[in-house]
A = this chain, B = another copy of it.
Amino acid sequence: MPTYKAPLEDMRFVLHELFDSTSRAVLPGNTDFSRDLIDSILDHASRLTEDVLFPLNQQGDLEGCVLENGRVRTPSGFKKAYKIFCDGGWTAMSASPDWGGQAVPISVAMMVDEMLCSSNVAFALYPGLSRGAYVALSHVGGENLKEIYLPNLVSGKWSATMCLTEAHCGTDLGMLRTRAVPKEDGSYGISGDKIFISAGEHDLTENIIHLVLARLPDAPAGVRGISMFLVPKFLPKKDGTPGPRNGVQCTALEHKMGIHGSATCTMNFDNATGWLLGEPNKGLAGMFTMMNVERVAVGMQGLGIAEVAYQNAVLYARERLQGRSLRGPKAPTKPADPIIVHPDIRRMLLTMRAYIEGCRAVACWVGNELEVLQKSDDIDAKLMAEDFSALMTPVVKALFTDLGFEIASLAVQVYGGHGYIRDHGVEQFLRDARISMLYEGTNGVQALDLVTRKLPHDRGRLLSRFFGPVVGFIEQQSQNRVLEPFLPQLRRAVEHLQSATSFIAENAPSNHDEAGAASAEYLRLFGLVALAFVWTRMASISAPRIEEPGHRGKFYRAKMRTAQFFMDRLLPQTGALLAAIQSGSKIMMEFEDTAF
């Protein structure tokens, strides 16, 4: 049976020590969020995830969801857990107090998100989608719609979906066919079929609100003719309670590789009543406010699964007795040594650890900037934060999920043959992690977004929000002797990223395929540099504290060694990535299509 314990110590480290938490505390609305309150939120979240959600994770995978007569039954225990989740106020965590929310600092909410995804990513998807819908609705919805729907989404009484994908179009929404026909009363009749709708139908809430992309009769072709509509499962009565059934049905559930506890629905809209959200034909912009929230959240899924996979691999490596240390028995009274004595097992565990703690630090960095963007009243700071978070969104989504999958696979490897057996629960992490590289824009789409939109924007303005602090830190710390084992490697990796950026900037304008050809490697290179930066920062903070007595000293020593491991073992990939990027697009593009 797998286990999970929320990594509170490391979360507190990144939240309170790694970044300047005072700058978060002074933001408007944040005065109440003292260190004590934040720690208390984390503690409560750890109990929820360890005691309520994680125990349902394996059973949820086994049972999956069942569709019967148009109704979807979620796995045993999900309903009760969802009630506990709502009663605890977790659906309200990120929302504005105007609508009953708590407006918890985003970096803190992201740590809670990580715990949710570690403990039960299939469950987390139900309230998860509501949050994105909340953001979209509060941005573009009319006041009357907000007043009916937002409080119910925030309380968790109702949940929401994003209905974008159709069978023939996912990435390329310009092709979508769902139609919206205006009715006399100002509402619209929505008709069409959507696929891959997470939480499209389930038994957790009394109503489900679909945000649907569709075309108006006079809409121009392509992405400029897409509008967004709000379509509830039950049409609210005057008093705001659910009324008559609307014309929307779940017609099928997908059978998937993983996240079996999450209902992935095919939805049919048959002249369903909906209301326009935002302006006609500008639905994609509204949906993207939702999508960006989701993309960061999906990144946290990768991190969350990586963490629980790592924890179980560590426990197994400590318990499993097999073979002897290459340098002679370490546990001579036992029939064999625990496999944690073997260097290759340690290599795997440290690889997992170095990526996980690095990603957690990057998450906190991005969360802090999103917080400035949301709450600051300093226009310049907001603009910079907007640039930075726009730049980092595809990186967080793709890097964290690629690594989440790699880490889950390493965990299986630590278990050996036992990792392939369902009972141990570790192969579930691998299956559950795989989806995160695909949905909310495949990781290839993220890389393309980074390279073709974020990079060239305003001559690299977004990029400067990243290079600025990194290069500044390197300069500022150049005389810091404790960083001697780190700074040269960080500097070299930054140079690799700069060279790769120049290569793209020089070649892509005359041949757009150069951007596409470089994109996947560029995103990984970018991500590694971001990790190297946060690891060097973590080392700078930890170095003076390694002699602290007891557990704290051990914590900081582990940080120093993991930092070194990252620099020595993982960061050298940047050179190979740069070489691949610099080889250009020619070879791949001139390969004859029919020769594949």
Instruction: Assess the A169–B437 pair: CB atoms within 8 A.
Output: no
CA distance in complex: A413, B348 (Å): 24
Looking at the assembled complex, report how far the CB atom of A518 sits from the nearest CB atom of chain B, in whole angstroms.
8
B572 touches A587 (CB 8 A): no
- Residue-wise, chain A 536-560 has the 8 Å CB interface mask toward B (1 for contact) of 0000000000000000001101100
Judge whether A35 is part of the interface by a CB distance below 8 angstroms: no
Interface hits, A436-471 → B, CB 8 Å = 437-439, 442-444, 447-448, 452
- B587–A257 touching, CB < 8 Å: no
Does A353 reach chain B (CB closer than 8 Å)?
yes
A579 and B569 CA atoms in complex are apart in Å by 7
Report how many copies the assembly holds. Answer: 2
The answer to whether A565 touches B588 (Cβ under 8 A) is yes
Give A554 to B583 CA distance when docked, in angstroms. Answer: 23
Provided the pairs A343-B585, A430-B257 are in contact, do residues A172 and B422 lie with their beta carbons within 8 angstroms?
no
Is A277 in the interface zone, CB < 8 Å from B? no
Query: Binary interface profile of A, 561-596, with partner B (CB < 8 Å = 1, else 0)?
Result: 110110011101111100110010101111111111
CB of A382 within 8 Å of the partner chain: no
Q: How far is the CA of A254 from the CA of B421 in the complex (A)?
A: 7
Q: Please, what's the 1-or-0 string for A421-435, where 1 marks a CB less than 8 Å from any CB in chain B? A: 111000100110011
Mask of A302-326 contacts with B, CB within 8 angstroms, 1/0: 0000000000001001100111011
Residue contact A588 to B340, C-beta cutoff 8 Å = no
Question: What is the 8 Å Cβ interface bit string for chain A, positions 288-300, against chain B (1 contact, 0 not)?
Answer: 0000000000000
Is the pair B516, A343 in contact by a Cβ cutoff of 8 Å? yes
The answer to whether A515 has its CB under 8 Å from any CB of chain B is yes
Report if A329 contacts B (CB, 8 A): no
Cβ-neighbour of A434 out of B345, B353, B420 (below 8 A)? B420
Q: Closest B residue to A583 by CB, please name it.
A: B568
Chain B positions within 8 Å of A590 at CB level: 561
- The DSSP consensus for interface residues of chain A is helix
**Within 8 Å of chain B (Cβ to Cβ): is A511?**
yes
Known: A409-B405, A421-B254. A175 touches B592 (CB 8 A): no
A149-179 interface bits toward B, Cβ cutoff 8 Å, 1 = contact, 0 = none: 0000000000000000100111110110000
Interface assignment of A17: CB less than 8 Å from any CB of chain B: no
Q: How far is the CA of A437 from the CA of B513 in the complex (A)?
A: 35
Q: How large is the interface on A (under 10, 10 to 19, 20 to 34, 35 or more residues)?
A: 35 or more
Chain A 254-271 interface 0/1 with B at a Cβ cutoff of 8 Å (1 = within): 111110000000000000
Q: What B residues does A435 contact at CB under 8 A?
A: 417, 420
Q: Determine whether A519 belongs to the interface, using a CB cutoff of 8 Å to chain B.
A: yes
Q: Which of B258, B405, B569, B588 contacts A583 (CB 8 A)?
A: B569
**Chain B residues, CB < 8 A from A512:** 326-327
B257 touches A427 (CB 8 A): yes
Q: Does residue A416 face the partner (Cβ distance < 8 Å to B)?
A: yes
A422 to B430, CA, bound (A): 16
Contact A519 B588 (CB under 8 A): no
Nearest chain-B residue to A566 (Cβ)?
B587
Instruction: State the Cβ distance, A357 to closest chain B Cβ, in Å.
Output: 12
Shortest distance in angstroms between A489's beta carbon and chain B's nearest beta carbon? 10
In the bound complex, do residue A434 and residue B412 qualify as a contact, i.e. CB atoms below 8 Å apart?
yes
* Interface flags, A484-513, vs B, CB<8A=1, else 0: 000000000000000000000000000111
Report A414 CB to chain B, min CB distance, Å: 9
A574–B413 Cα gap in the complex (Å)?
A: 23
| Cβ-defined contact, A569 with B565, below 8 A | no
Docked CA distance A9–B11 (Å): 55
**B416 contacts A593, CB within 8 Å?**
no
Q: Contact at B257–A431, with CB atoms within 8 Å? A: yes
User: Cβ of A257: which chain B residues have Cβ within 8 Å of it?
Assistant: 420-422, 427, 430-431
A419 in the interface (beta carbon within 8 A): yes
- CB of A537 to closest CB in B, whole Å: 19
Q: In the complex, are the beta carbons of B585 and A321 less than 8 A apart?
A: no
- State whether B172 touches A346 (Cβ < 8 A): no
The answer on a CB contact under 8 Å between B452 and A438 is no
The reply on A336 being an interface residue by CB < 8 A is yes
Closest chain B CB from A153 CB (angstroms): 25
Known: A511-B327, A579-B572. A416 touches B431 (CB 8 A): no
A28 at the interface (CB under 8 A from B): no
Q: How far apart sit A74 and B421, CA to CA, in the bound complex (Å)?
A: 19
Contacts known (A322-B170, A420-B257, A427-B257); A513 close to B327, Cβ less than 8 A: yes
- Pairwise interchain contact B344-A519, C-beta atoms closer than 8 A: yes
Query: Is A275 an interface residue when CB atoms closer than 8 A count as contact?
Result: no
A554 to B515, CA, bound (A): 27
Q: How far is the CA of A374 from the CA of B511 in the complex (A)?
A: 55
Q: Would you list 9 pairs from A and B whose C-beta atoms are within 8 A, ordered by A residue?
A: A170-B417, A171-B322, A172-B336, A255-B423, A318-B596, A340-B596, A344-B519, A349-B596, A561-B590
Which residues of A come within 8 Å of B, CB atoms? 165, 168-172, 174-175, 196, 254-258, 314, 317-318, 321-323, 325-327, 335-336, 340, 342-350, 353, 405, 409, 412-413, 416-423, 427, 430-431, 434-435, 437-439, 442-444, 447-448, 452, 511-513, 515-517, 519-520, 554-555, 557-558, 561-562, 564-565, 568-570, 572-576, 579-580, 583, 585, 587-596
Given A257-B421, A318-B596, A576-B576, 14 more A-B residue pairs with CB atoms under 8 Å apart are A254-B422, A255-B421, A255-B422, A256-B421, A325-B513, A343-B519, A345-B444, A346-B517, A347-B588, A417-B435, A417-B439, A554-B592, A569-B587, A573-B573
